[in-house]
Structure 1
Amino acid sequence: MDPTVVSPAPPTRSPAKRVIPPNPLLSAAVVAGFVALLFVVEGIDTALGGSLDHDGVIPRDFTEWDNILWAPVLHGGWEHLTGNALPLLVLGFLATSGGLKQFFQVTAVIWLTDGLGVWLAGSPGSHIGASGLIFGYLVFLLVRGVFARATAQVVVALAVFAVYGAMLWGVLPGQPGISWESHLFGALGGVLAAWGVARDHHRAAAA
């Protein structure tokens, strides 16, 4: 019997340097499902006369600390929600490139960092909306490519910055009715998530 030559398997892109999610359709469905949930919640809030708007993060109020868990799904009206929907879809989808498990972990880090930061240092009032998540995803995408030394991710991050970079001005105070604290702490959560992802990949590579 003649010997058989088996070609080596083609190299696969490291998860740390991946730009497109391993399962794009599933990732798109998950992110779109979350955005759809926001519309459902806003519909319920509208039916209740906007009463849910007062259930956001209330800084330094120990009786309302659990609002951290659902403040990002609440919005102050349809205009507020529709303004967040498209960037949330785009940035959320790109943030799934490391897989859905990593995406959920990144989202949890941003969600909690944002909520706890606003609870500790926010201005009085009810802080609601998914913009903290949006800022977190944006900064996560900008920073992770640098940590991973992934050229493709850096290029994508620059493209994202060209489109959404002006949003980063939202971390500065000055616009009445805008929770710049949520933007700021969401962005810090994005940095923390990017650092954690890079650390985990370095540990996995070393092992």
Structure 2
Amino acid sequence: MAAKFAQLFADSRRALFTMLGVQAVIWSVQVVNWLGDYGLSREFGLRSGQLGDLPEMFTMPFLHFSWSHIEANSWPLFVLGFLSAYRGMRKFLLASLVIVVSGGLTVWLLEGPNTVTAGASGMVYGYLGYVVLRGVLDRNVLDAVVGIVIAAVYSTILVGVLPLAQGVSWLGHLGGLIGGLAAAVLLRNRPADQQAGTRAPQPAPQGAGAPSSPGSALLKQLDDLGL
């Protein structure tokens, strides 16, 4: 039990510093962006339908169009990002990748022609979906309680996935949410994962040195990097 609490504390500490670092980057970029009359958002935001702009799905979450825009995203991004990461950085990084790609592709494919989209709100919705559904799928008491509380607190923002407000990328919100839900399913704890913590390691069958699935291979590589 003590070992589990120690691991949880270490993971939570790493999650805290990670999200503080993310916030520092986003706000530093905002200052430079503001000084340049938001030219970074126009240049490195995601422009729908432009094939050469697809890589901008990875820069889009760090850019905003105003101080009110970044203020609205920062607090929920910090809270939901931390809750997504406190169970371990490996799954958090993979979940973040799924959310970025899902939200980015949704915007790129379905947003109006030549519309430039920027902002971290897609990540906010993605982490919301991930935290809530993870609590249901992983059958972990703490995660389930966290998921219920978060669902209650942030349920009102789900209206943001509907095309109701002008100038708001509801498609980015919807794509991020779908990505978060998908990540929770793809990265859920399986019975074999839960039993691995209670059973002694068994020798691998001869010739079975490769991981059993692409997902486990990615997690193993991240584990080897110390994440």
TM-score of the superposition, structure 2-length normalised?
0.78
Deviation at 1:33, TM superposition (A): 0.6
Deviates more, 1:99-108 or 1:184-193: 99-108
Distance in 2, Cα, partners of 1:112 & 1:137 = 13
Distance in 1, Cα, partners of 2:160 & 2:125 = 9
Deviates more, 1:88-97 or 1:150-159: 150-159
Deviates more, 1:180-189 or 1:61-70: 61-70
Alignment of 1:173-192 (within 5 A): 173-192=163-182
Pair 1:141 & 2:131 matched: yes
Deviation at 1:49, TM superposition (A): 1.4
User: In the alignment, which residue of structure 1 is the partner of 2:205?
Assistant: none
Deviates more, 1:34-43 or 1:20-29: 20-29
- Structure 2 unpaired stretches of 5+: 197-227
User: In the alignment, which residue of structure 1 is the partner of 2:88?
Assistant: 99
Q: Deviations over 1:153-186 (max 9, x none)?
A: 2221121122211111100001000000000000
Letter in 1 for 2:63: L
Distance in 2, Cα, partners of 1:37 & 1:153 = 28
Deviation at 1:53, TM superposition (A): 2.0
Contact persistence 2:11–2:87 (CA under 8 A) = no
Pair 1:152 & 2:148 matched: no
SS in 2 for 1:72: helix
Deviation at 1:107, TM superposition (A): 0.8
User: In the alignment, which residue of structure 1 is the partner of 2:111?
Assistant: 122
User: In the alignment, which residue of structure 2 is the partner of 1:32?
Assistant: 20
Pair 1:89 & 2:78 matched: yes
User: In the alignment, which residue of structure 1 is the partner of 2:184?
Assistant: 194
Q: 1:115 to 1:206 in 2, by over 3 A?
A: same
Q: 1:119 to 1:160 in 2, by over 3 A?
A: same
Distance in 2, Cα, partners of 1:63 & 1:137 = 27
User: In the alignment, which residue of structure 1 is the partner of 2:41?
Assistant: 53
Distance in 2, Cα, partners of 1:155 & 1:206 = 22
Deviation at 1:152, TM superposition (A): 2.7
Identity %: 31
Distance in 1, Cα, partners of 2:101 & 2:23 = 19
Higher relative contact order (CA 8 A, sep 6+): 1
CA RMSD of aligned residues (A): 2.0
